[in-house]
Amino acid sequence: MSSTNRGGVREVSDYYNTPLQPIKDFLRTWTEDDNLSLADKVFLDPCAGGDKDHAMRYPEAIKDVIHAENIITLDIREDSRAEIKADYLTYTKEQTADIIISNPPFSLAKEFITKALRDVTGNGYVIMLLRLNFLEGKARKEFFKDNMPYRIYVHSKRMSFTDNGKTDSVAYAHFVWKRGFQLSESKLKII
């Protein structure tokens, strides 16, 4: 998902270690905005990441901020710390989730969102960390006609997806969809 070091070698499976603090900032802001209590909900991170040197960031943030313990982790990479090693796009869920939250490969983001909106329970939430330029493009404009995010939380600080602390050259946002809500516009907030 990172655009750092353009022209360089891309990471395997488009894996970049998501920074923890922006996830925590988002979770605090979102749950306060909607006055949500989510500790008893089931979460799924379909791109959980993590490796021998890095923790899985979304589960860590969810446990710390929301105090939820029922977190299903899935990742396509064999070296991931996820409990389930599988490709989410072809994975048949064994358990339902109330909230699907992740940092998907940008090139497959639309596919991840579409599947997550089918997989999430009832009026559940789908949350994806994406480049802000996900809002651009003719194909995405068509996608948004039927899949407008409920909220968009733009991160005001640049994120570093690398161990050296270098930041991206693009802006990022947590996009929040609520299943069953057909909207013509989104509420945007800068955090």
Neighbours of 47 (CB within 10 A): 28
Per-residue confidence (pLDDT) for residue 22, from 0 to 100: 95
Check pLDDT > 80 for residue 121: yes
Per-residue confidence (pLDDT) for residue 169, from 0 to 100: 80
- Please indicate whether residue 71 or residue 3 has the higher confidence score (pLDDT): 71
Q: Rounded mean pLDDT of 109-126? A: 95
Check pLDDT > 60 for residue 111: yes
Mean per-residue pLDDT of the chain: 89
Check pLDDT > 50 for residue 61: yes
Per-residue confidence (pLDDT) for residue 15, from 0 to 100: 64
Q: Rounded mean pLDDT of 77-96? A: 90
For residue range 5-46, list pLDDT tens digits in order: 444 444 555 567 888 999 999 999 999 999 999 999 999 999
Q: How far apart are alpha carbons 56 and 147 in whole angstroms?
A: 28
CA geometry: angle at 44 spanning 25 and 76, to 5°? Answer: 105
Check pLDDT > 70 for residue 156: yes
Per-residue confidence (pLDDT) for residue 130, from 0 to 100: 96
